[in-house]
Amino acid sequence: MPENFLTARRGRGGTLWLGRNWAFLFLLLEVAAFALLGSRFLSLENLQNIFVACLPVLLLGMGQTFVIITGGIDLSVGFVMGLGTVICAKFMFLFQAAGLPPSLSIPLAVLICLAVGLVPGFVNGTLVARLKVPPFLATFGMYGIAYGVSELVSGNTPISELPAEAGYIGNEYILYIIPRKLVSLILRPQDVSKLELQNMWTILPTVVVIAFAFVLIFAFVLRRTPFGQHNYAIGGSMDAALRAGINVPRHLTRVYVISSFFASLSGVMYVFRYVTGRADAGSSRMLDAVVAVVIGGASLYGGTGSVKGTIVGALIIATLETGMVNLGVPSHNRYIAIGVILVIAVLIDQFFPELVGRGE
């Protein structure tokens, strides 16, 4: 009898674990499939590329995680990211034209961009929290406004001719190792032969390190601070949160500000990486960000979701993209795959609530 009981429980625990971590297993399966089908998919370079590729989705998804946990949605992130790229690029361009050295023009432009990026979030938050506009409509309005403003700032053409140093940040690595010769931190080794260059290991892309620093900070905020607890509380039941004395309007405003902060941070990363600013830089990423968060186990009704889940979701999408390029499949097929994965994620959530651990 006790034996039976034990096995039964272990069995249920197993499916429970599977249900909670199906996204992670899916990611592993995905990597395994591409490793079998593709060529050199598991190389260090390619794996690092996946992390670089996941950044826009991850950063937009981070802000979206906070918003979705409160039961809201932020549809404006894609175009706020575009706005971020345009503002950042525009100021870099202006400062460069004014004769500022790159060591000054780049950080200044980034700071201005991040500061301006708080504005859409503040407007969204005020509309949602104070004027009780449904999040869907408030952020949909901002979606149009942000796109229009970024076209306005960029004059309808991508902004280029930025300081080349911006590109160094976006495309360089933290660590360079040439086996049995030298280890270089941050600076790309000079005066090396072609052969040595081919054998050089480049480790930790700079943008990934910057982005993950912010992701980890906000993961901590969500998991370990009263702010994070209030976030879950509001998503669980707004009435209960109000009665428990949480200042819900103020909290919601901050949440939308966080979302648009991450969107403009993603814009800055885009400028570093591609050394250009364009209004539609993030337009295709809104869908991806919502998908990443939902695959990661969040419910659009609020109250659930985690940074860990969003990271896995973003990696699933990035692996898909990178893998498709590796296999030579036209990249627009990813939209189909992502749409299908989104619906499957919600169906799993819908039909196996106890599997996903939401039955209680």
Asked whether position 340 contacts other proteins by CB under 8 A, the answer is: yes
Residue 42 or 343 having the CB closest to other proteins = 343
Q: Which of 2, 5, 36, 132 binds other proteins (CB under 8 A)?
A: 132
Asked whether position 16 contacts other proteins by CB under 8 A, the answer is: no
Asked whether position 327 contacts other proteins by CB under 8 A, the answer is: no
Q: Minimal distance in Å, beta carbon 259 to other proteins?
A: 17
Q: Which of 15, 247, 333, 359 binds other proteins (CB under 8 A)?
A: 333
Handedness of CA 82, 84, 87, 93 (dihedral sign): negative
Q: What are phi and psi of 178, to 5 degrees?
A: -105, 115
Asked whether position 151 contacts other proteins by CB under 8 A, the answer is: yes
Q: Candidates 43-51, 58-66, 140-148, 304-312 — which segment interacts with other proteins by CB under 8 A?
A: 140-148
Q: Which of 4, 39, 156, 190 binds other proteins (CB under 8 A)?
A: 156
Q: Which of 25, 29, 111, 343 binds other proteins (CB under 8 A)?
A: 343
Q: Minimal distance in Å, beta carbon 320 to other proteins?
A: 12
Q: What is the DSSP string of 124-179?
A: HHHHHHTS---HHHHHHHHHHHHHHHHHHHHTTS-B----HHHHHHHH-EEEEEET
Tokens representing 18 are 């599977």
- Which residues are within 8 A (CB) of 178 and not within 5 positions of it... i.e. 6 or more apart? 189, 192, 196, 199, 200, 201
3-state helix, strand, coil in the chain (%, to 5): 70, 5, 25
Q: Which of 8, 104, 137, 209 binds other proteins (CB under 8 A)?
A: 137
Asked whether position 359 contacts other proteins by CB under 8 A, the answer is: no
Judge contact between 135 and 238, C-beta under 8 A. Answer: no
Asked whether position 50 contacts other proteins by CB under 8 A, the answer is: no
Asked whether position 280 contacts other proteins by CB under 8 A, the answer is: yes
Asked whether position 290 contacts other proteins by CB under 8 A, the answer is: yes
Q: Candidates 62-70, 147-155, 160-168, 269-277 — which segment interacts with other proteins by CB under 8 A?
A: 147-155
According to CB under 8 A, which residues from 73 to 112 bind other proteins? 73, 78
Asked whether position 339 contacts other proteins by CB under 8 A, the answer is: yes
Residue by residue, what is the 3-state secondary structure of 20-55? Answer: HCHHHHHHHHHHHHHHHHCCCCCCHHHHHHHHHHHH
Q: Minimal distance in Å, beta carbon 343 to other proteins?
A: 4
Asked whether position 130 contacts other proteins by CB under 8 A, the answer is: no
Residue by residue, what is the 3-state secondary structure of 293-353? Answer: HHHCCCCCCCCCCCHHHHHHHHHHHHHHHHHHHHHCCCCCHHHHHHHHHHHHHHHHHHHCC
Residue 101 or 134 having the CB closest to other proteins = 134
Q: What is the dihedral of CA 301, 83, 258, 243, to 10 degrees?
A: -50
Q: Minimal distance in Å, beta carbon 61 to other proteins?
A: 14
Angle at 184 between CA 181 and CA 189, to 5 degrees: 80
Residue 10's alpha-carbon distances to 6, 16, 61, 114, in angstroms, are 6, 10, 34, 49
Residue 16 or 133 having the CB closest to other proteins = 133
- Helices 102-116 and 164-171: crossing angle, nearest 10°? 70
Q: Minimal distance in Å, beta carbon 135 to other proteins?
A: 10
Residue 120 or 205 having the CB closest to other proteins = 120
Q: Candidates 91-99, 200-208, 216-224, 280-288 — which segment interacts with other proteins by CB under 8 A?
A: 280-288
Q: Candidates 6-14, 46-54, 59-67, 141-149 — which segment interacts with other proteins by CB under 8 A?
A: 141-149
Q: What is the dihedral of CA 340, 59, 232, 293, to 10 degrees?
A: 10
Q: Residues in the site for other proteins, rule: CB under 8 A? A: 73, 78, 127, 131-134, 136-138, 140-149, 151-152, 156, 279-280, 283-284, 287, 290-291, 294, 300, 330, 332-340, 342-343, 346-347, 350
